[in-house]
Structures are given as structure tokens and as C-alpha cells.
Amino acid sequence: MACTTSSDDASSIFGLDQDKPEIHISKQEQKSQSHKELDHPQHEIIASIDTKRDVEEPPVEKVSSQMLRDPNLVTWDSDNDPANPHNWSLKRKWAVVFVVSAFTFISPVSSSMIAPALGNMKIDLGIRDDFEAAMTLSIFVLAFALGPLLFGPLSELYGRVRVLQCSNLIFLIFNIVCGFARTGPQMLAFRYFAGFGGSALLALGGETYAPILLKRKAAKLRKESGNPALYTEFDDPDRKLTTDLRTAFERPFRLLFTQPIVQVISVYMAYNYGLLYLMLTSFPTLWTKRYGESLGIGSLHYIGLGIGLFLGSQITAPLSDRIYKKLKHRNGGIGKPEFRVPLMFVGAAITPMALFWYGWSAQARTHWIVPTIGAGVFAAGTIINYGCMQAYIVDSYTRYAASGLAATAVLRSLSGFSFPLFANTLFAKLGYGWGNSLLGFVAIAFGIPAPLIFWRFGERLRARSEYAAG
């Protein structure tokens, strides 16, 4: 049975986070003989699981309670149905988390691991200047902007695992081919397609997908029982594949251009992501030119960034869940996506503080441990923000979580591609002190308003949305 989940949101499938919104499904809807259209998305409840009907589906009409008892309708058997991901064994859940976490680790590592070797690559591949060298690193991330727009919608039609397997094959082939590149343009092209294949998990890793699981359950029951009339609420014999594909591909763009929640998260996440790749690109220059270290010794400072990212990711999920449960208890046992926001205030405060710390300690050429720790704290703040925002998107758009994550990936990946291109120029003109201070001031301008907007207006914005849950 195909299913994925993200490490950032792992506790939700463990049953530890029963506070998260339930997996959403809808009921089978029959076409009205009069073809009467509905003015609003339709909500239905089957087996205590709520969902929002896609507004772009054909006109439908409400059905009677008698139709809800249709013996041919396949849904979860009960709240304890073992096929429901919430009820999987702990061993199986950990297996899923491990696999998804491994994929999540490999792709970003592949995007940035060449940073310490950019100087040697310039010589070996005949790359002319620092701008082209920086593009060799960041073009991998440019593909992250486009890949999720394809893989996310496809996964909502065919399931997470099949799409992930296909994308991983692309990732594997072009990463191998990168080793045979002989010129700068060849390396650029190969790394772009490697990034395209590695981008799938940005949209697929956030949650399991109930509609596909139910469809596979129905297919299995049809085969075992010999009853071809069995169906799920997502089956519609009159729908065409081309219509499904068009709707699925359009949805991320609709979310990006019509949903204020997605827009605000996309901008703030994009800035954080761009800052991280800017630091990754400028790191070798700081240690080799300003501190006079060899390339090998200078590369060891990436350990500080890695430790910060690791600690931030390990802190975010359990602490976010603890805060969520506490706020849910205060709210009469009703959970809201906005309960993911409080920890975002912490990340928003840490990020600019760490930039000031890192920049001015590097400018003053203090002991190497000081800017290294500052960079690690910055990385932790960045990953805290990322984890909170990803969880908020998944909680807010439930059934369309993959499309929501794909929409946020567009601006984020464009920033990850473009920020490194001006890193060396920025620090050459302003120095590490004022250069990082400028970035820190902008982080304050973005970071403080964003969580405030979600906390105060998030529920209101979701209520007006045609896609959001609740």
C-alpha cells in the first residue's frame, strides 16, 4: 500500500498527534438529473471523516441519508480500520518515516554538497567567473520550483509512492551523469535535471493520501468479492483523465494566486530558503580568504550548519505537537492549524539575531568558533520556520496538501536559485557585518508580521477559502 509522510510531520501518523486534522474524504455524489450547479464547495461526512469537495468537479446534488448506507460504498470500516494510516503499527510508521526522511535528506544534500568544491570545479570545467560557479550550485534548486508543480498533482491522482519512484529514477540517472560532465554548460544541464528528479518529495512527503488508499482498497475488494459495483466516494465514471490532469495541474497555481495564506507563507519561506543557500555559497570564501584557511579545513565549518539544521529539525516536531495539544485542550478539544504558529515566533526571532551574530563576528575576524556557532543558530532558526510553515500548510489544505506544498515551493526554490548569485557581490561591497545586517533587517520585516497574520487572521482566511479545511 502506497503511502508517504514527512519527517517534519512524522508524529501525526504515529497517533501521537491526534490533534491534527483527520484525513479528509468525501462521499460518492450522483449527478443531478437537472444538472443543477452548486454555488459553494460541498461538505459531507462519512465515517466521521470530513472533506471539502473540489470546486472544479462537475455539478452535484446532495444525496439522502439512505444513499450513505449504500452497501457498495467503500470507506474506512471503522475508526480502528487497520488500513487507515492512523491505525498502522508503530513499526510500520517508523519504517515510513525512515524512508521519507532518507529521501528528504539526500536531495538537499545533493543540491549543496558541491559548494566546497566550486573553486576546483571552476578550473576543471573551464568556468569563467564566480557568478557562473554559483549558478552551478544553485541551478539544482531552480528545478525545485518546477518539479513539485508536476509531481504534486500527479500524486493526488496516482498516489505518492509511484510518483516518487519515477522521480527518484530521474534523480539517480542525472546525478550519475554529473560525474561525466566535461564543461560548465554540461554540469549546469545535468544538475538541473537531477534537481528536477529530487524535487518530488518537497510536495509528496507531508502526509499520506486517503483517496488513493481507499481506491486501492475498493479495487482489492472488487477482485476478492467479484462485485464490480464497489466504489469509493472519489470514483466518477463520467470524469475524464484529461479533466483530472488539467484540474490537478491548475490547482497549485490557483492556490498560489488566490490564497493569502499560501502567498504569505511562500514569501516568508522563500526568503528563509534564499538566505540559507546564500550562506552555503559564501561560506568557502569567508574561510579561505578572510580567515586564510585551506579549502579542506574551511569545509569543516559546514559541520556547524549541519548541527544547527539537525537540532532545529529534531526540536521543531515534538515541541510543535506539545504546543498544539496544549492549545487544543484550552480550546475545548478542537484543534486548529493556527496552533502551529506560536513556535514560528521563535524561529522568526532567532533568524535575524543569528545573522547579526554571524556577520559581525566574521567581520571582526573573531575566533572561528564564534561565526560557526552563529551560522548554526541561523540554520536552526531557518528549519524551525520551515517546519512550522509546512505543518500549517498541511493542516490548512488537508486533501490538497501536495498542491499547497507545491505552490509554496515555487517562490522558495526561485529564491534558493537567485540569492547565491549576488552573495559574493553583496559581501564585497558591504562586508560581512553590514551585508548580513541588511539581510537581518529584511528578515525582521518579513518574520514578525507573518506569524501575526496567521495567528490573528488565519481562521478567517481559511473560512473564506474554497480549498482550506475548516
Query: Which long-range contacts link 252-255 to residues 24+ away (Cβ below 8 Å)?
Result: 252/148, 252/149, 252/152, 252/153, 252/403, 252/404, 252/406, 252/407, 252/410, 253/149, 253/407, 254/467, 255/397, 255/400, 255/403, 255/404, 255/407, 255/467
The angle subtended at Cα 470 by Cα 445 and Cα 25, nearest 5°, is 125
Cell of 349: 526571532
Cell of 75: 470507506
What is the predicted pLDDT for the residue at 153? 72
Cell of 400: 490538497
pTM > 0.75: no
What is the predicted pLDDT for the residue at 45? 33
Work out the angle between the directed axes of helices 184-198 and 118-125 (0-180°, nearest 10): 130
Task: Give the SS3 label for residue 53.
Answer: coil
Local confidence pLDDT in tens for the 470 residues of the chain: 444 443 344 344 333 444 444 444 443 444 444 444 334 433 333 333 343 444 344 444 444 444 455 777 777 766 777 767 777 788 888 887 788 778 778 887 888 788 778 878 888 888 888 788 888 888 898 888 888 777 877 776 777 778 888 888 999 999 999 989 999 889 999 999 999 988 887 667 656 666 777 777 777 777 777 777 777 766 666 666 677 677 767 888 888 888 888 888 888 889 988 898 888 888 888 998 899 998 888 888 989 998 999 999 889 988 999 999 999 999 988 888 899 999 999 999 999 999 999 999 999 999 999 999 999 999 999 999 988 998 888 888 877 777 788 788 888 888 888 888 888 889 989 999 999 999 999 999 988 888 898 898 888 888 888 777 76
Q: List strand residue ranges (DSSP E) for 317-426, in order.
A: none
CATH code of the domain occupying 87-208+245-463:
1.20.1250.20
What is the predicted pLDDT for the residue at 296? 82
Cell of 147: 518539479
Q: How many whole angstroms from its chain centre is CA 363?
A: 34
Q: Where are the domains of the chain?
A: 87-208+245-463
- CB within 8 A of 318, min separation 6: which ones? 11
Nearest to 284, CA basis, from 140, 35, 116: 116
In angstroms, rounded to a whole number, what is the distance separating the alpha carbons of residues 375 and 385?
16
Question: How many residues are present in the chain?
Answer: 470
What is the predicted pLDDT for the residue at 375? 95
Phi/psi at 73 (nearest 5 deg)? -80, 125
Work out the angle between the directed axes of helices 449-463 and 260-285 (0-180°, nearest 10): 150
What is the predicted pLDDT for the residue at 102? 80
Task: Give the SS3 label for residue 73.
Answer: strand
pLDDT in tens, 37-56: 334 433 333 333 343 444 34
pLDDT in tens, 371-422: 999 999 999 999 999 889 988 888 888 777 777 887 888 888 888 888 888 8
User: Whole-angstrom distance between the N-terminal and C-terminal Cα of the chain?
Assistant: 28
